[in-house]
Structure 1
Amino acid sequence: MAAYNAASSKKLKTTVNWTPSLTAGLENSAANLPTTLATTTGAGVLN
């Protein structure tokens, strides 16, 4: 970002001021991911 801003007359901001809307229900940590995935993915899970 700093290199681009130094070389360009059009500056980029370092903040975005928005929150992604499609993050509801996503895991915050990878620690619980194996447990969550074991009940929702893999052979025998699809009906």
Structure 2
Amino acid sequence: MGFEDLGMEAIYEFEVEDMPVTVAVDSLGTSVHQTGPAKWKEIIAQTA
């Protein structure tokens, strides 16, 4: 662990195997929780 004196702000290193993940926010701060529903709302509107 790095910077242990920082408590929750310390740097931790984990090795994880066989764990599927979903990234909800990209490096630019775009959230799939905002873009996903908006995109599907648009798709549904086009098919209705």
Fold shared by both chains (TM-score > 0.5): no
Which structure: larger Rg?
A: 1
TM-score by length of 2: 0.25
